[in-house]
């Protein structure tokens, strides 16, 4: 074992990553650590960086594509950072809190603003890093401040104005990638529990009708190009709806979803994404941008 990782939290070795991403694909990670608390995470981050040990933070794995290879490093999962505090119109949530739980707590306290996030299977931390959004709302709109840990294990508070948020992207993925999100404060509005629940149920029904939620997937594969929809292009222009490679398939219900319908490998999913990208570029001269992040690929 690398030093004594269990002093920082729960440690698992040689873990299948299939259990920890919504595609249910991927290889094995040498080390998998769930820190006990923020202080333990600070010490772990400092140790890994000082010793130049490969590592990454994993949220709920709802927007990643792990390769089938071994991840020769440490995967850090923040499940134990799961506290939420309510103070008037403000919510303070730790990075490991799932968005549906955060929405539920806000609604129970008659707070309005986050209902759009009720169906997003991501964590607070991962959703901030990826600027999660739905129904024309984005998480950046509700952020007041973010607590982060830098590469030396120091705690800092930063503000949305210091972060470059874009569509399904933030500077936490590039120039701020050395910072680890550990909590955030959200500013909401007075609401009505019954109205919020009705809105959430309506949207849940719409998702069930239009998205292949019965299969493992990672949501929309490609960003919508300006003035069009990736799903329409894939279905109507390049006729790849229902296309399969190995156990991966372009969903019959929504062509911008790739599903793991029959024990797909990571390579199956990547090959299907590459095929769609190539066909759309050849046919429509559109360079579709993949929303999902490729992890541990050469």
291 a catalytic residue: yes
For residue 223, being part of any structural domain is answered with: no
Residues 175 and 129 in one domain: yes
Whether pLDDT at 298 is above 80: no
Q: Which burial class, exposed, middle or buried, applies to 74 when counting CB atoms under 10 A from its CB (0-12, 13-18, 19+)?
A: buried
pLDDT of residue 4: 86
Residues 89 and 197 in one domain: yes
The count of structural domains within the chain is 3
Residues 88 and 60 in one domain: no
Q: Name the token pair of 80.
A: 């134990």
Q: What is the pLDDT of residues 123-141, one digit of tens each?
A: 999 999 999 998 899 999 9
Mean pLDDT of the 134-155 span: 96
pTM (two decimals): 0.92
Residues 160 and 272 in one domain: no
275: part of which helix (H) or strand (E)?
helix 266-284
Whether pLDDT at 176 is above 70: yes
Residues 98 and 180 in one domain: yes
The last residue of a domain, from among 39, 54, 77? 77
For residue 104, being part of any structural domain is answered with: yes
Distance CA(272)–CA(287), nearest Å, equals 15
The last residue of a domain, from among 46, 77, 108? 77
Find the DSSP H helices in 173-265.
193-210, 230-232
Residue-averaged pLDDT of the chain: 96
Residue ranges making up the domain that contains 251: 230-295
Distance CA(73)–CA(234), nearest Å, equals 36
For residue 59, being part of any structural domain is answered with: yes
206 a catalytic residue: no
For residue 113, being part of any structural domain is answered with: yes
The last residue of a domain, from among 48, 77, 106? 77
For residue 21, being part of any structural domain is answered with: yes
Name the catalytic one among 220, 235, 251, 266.
220
Residues 179 and 94 in one domain: yes
99: part of which helix (H) or strand (E)?
helix 99-108
The partner residues of 65 in beta bridges, in order of sequence, read 294
Residues 250 and 158 in one domain: no
Q: What is the CATH number for 121? A: 3.30.465.10
* Percent of the chain surpassing pLDDT 90: 93
Residues 23 and 61 in one domain: yes
- Band (pLDDT 50/70/90 cuts) for residue 83 is very high
Q: What is the CATH number for 267? A: 3.90.78.10
What are all long-range contacts of 235-243, with beta carbons under 8 Å and residues at least 24 apart? 237/280, 237/283, 237/284, 238/276, 238/279, 238/280, 238/283, 238/284, 240/275, 240/276, 240/279, 243/272, 243/275, 243/276
Q: Quote the distance between the C-alpha of residue 124 and its chain's center.
A: 9
Residues 124 and 193 in one domain: yes
Q: Is 203 helix (H, G, I), strand (E, B) or coil?
A: helix
For residue 235, being part of any structural domain is answered with: yes
92 a catalytic residue: no
Residues 101 and 191 in one domain: yes
For residue 19, being part of any structural domain is answered with: yes
Residues 189 and 236 in one domain: no
Spatial CB neighbours of 37, under 8 Å, sequence gap ≥ 6? 80, 81
Q: What is the pLDDT of residues 158-174, one digit of tens each?
A: 999 999 999 889 999 99
Residues 167 and 276 in one domain: no
Q: What is the CATH number for 12? A: 3.30.43.10
Name the catalytic one among 62, 168, 196, 266.
168
Mean pLDDT of the 93-107 span: 97
Whether pLDDT at 193 is above 70: yes
- Band (pLDDT 50/70/90 cuts) for residue 9 is very high
């Amino acid at each position: 074992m690398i030093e004594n990782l269990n002093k920082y939290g729960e440690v698992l070795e040689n873990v299948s990553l299939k259990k920890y991403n919504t595609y249910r694909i991927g290889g094995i990670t040498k080390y998998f650590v769930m820190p006990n608390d923020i202080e333990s995470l600070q010490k772990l981050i400092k140790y890994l960086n000082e010793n130049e040990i490969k590592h990454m933070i994993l949220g709920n794995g709802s927007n990643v594509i792990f390769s089938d290879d071994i991840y020769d490093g440490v995967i850090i999962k923040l499940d134990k950072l799961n506290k939420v505090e309510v103070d008037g119109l403000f919510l303070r949530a730790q990075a490991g809190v799932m968005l549906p739980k955060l929405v539920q707590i806000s609604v129970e306290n008659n707070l309005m603003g986050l209902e759009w996030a009720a169906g997003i299977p991501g964590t607070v931390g991962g959703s901030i890093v990826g600027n999660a959004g739905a129904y024309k709302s984005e998480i950046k709109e509700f952020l007041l401040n973010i607590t982060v840990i830098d590469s030396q294990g120091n705690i800092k508070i930063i503000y949305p104005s210091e972060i470059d948020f874009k569509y399904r992207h933030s500077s936490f993925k590039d120039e701020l990638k050395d910072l680890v999100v550990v909590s955030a404060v959200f500013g909401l509005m007075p609401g009505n529990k019954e109205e919020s629940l009705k809105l959430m149920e309506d949207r849940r029904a719409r998702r069930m009708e239009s998205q292949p939620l019965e299969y493992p997937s990672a949501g929309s594969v490609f960003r919508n190009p300006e003035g069009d929809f990736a799903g329409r292009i894939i279905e109507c222009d390049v006729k790849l709806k229902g296309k399969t490679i190995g156990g991966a398939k372009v969903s019959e219900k929504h062509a911008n979803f790739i599903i793991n319908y029959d024990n797909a490998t990571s390579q199956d999913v990547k090959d299907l994404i590459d095929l769609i990208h190539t066909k759309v570029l050849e046919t429509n001269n559109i360079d579709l941008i993949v929303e999902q992040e490729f992890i541990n690929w050469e």
